[in-house]
Amino acid sequence: MRNYIITDDVLCFTSNGYGTYVVEKNKDFYLSIDCLKLLKYGCNFYGNSYNIQRQFVIDIFNYYIKTPIIVSSYNMIIFFPTCTPSSKKCIWLAYNNITRYVKESNGTKIYFDNGKEMNIKVPYTTIDNQITKCIKIEKYLNGIMRKTVEK
């Protein structure tokens, strides 16, 4: 799994202390690379640089903290972190696969488009803010693509 590629099947991934735990629509598994390397490799695979994608979001939207990352603008694959990406507690969630999220007493319940559910110990307001950022990013990217197609 050294050459694993992030696709739209990925729901989320997080550090397990020794590597990365990946949750896909139909399976869960471990990889022996850390989360940021996985994300950077995914960006590179789709012809992007993690640093350039991060800087793009910062420049356009001024999102310096918990910056969402556009892994693939063509496939509209956008991931957002639940806390600082350098934290071992960080969960990277696939914005595009989330159908809804609900406040729970000890965090937030995430509902994915394939029917999977996940309780995470992250405040509802954090998830809501991150989803809002991703909505704005997606709308901006769709506008760029629409203008490109019209030309």
Would you say residue 25 lies in a domain? yes
Mean of the pLDDT values across residues 61-72? Answer: 97
- Whether residue 32 is contained in a domain is answered as yes
Residue 148 confidence (pLDDT) above 80: no
Of 6, 32, 5, 28, nearest to 17 (Cα)?
A: 32
Domain of 26 in residue numbering reads as 10-150
Average pLDDT value over all residues in the chain: 94
Total domains in the fold of the chain:
1
CB 92 within 8 A of CB 68: no
* Alpha-carbon distances of 85 from 82, 98, 117, 148, rounded to whole Å: 8, 20, 23, 32
pLDDT band at 151; cut points 50, 70, 90: low
Name residues whose C-beta falls within 8 Å of residue 139's C-beta, 6 or more positions apart in sequence: none
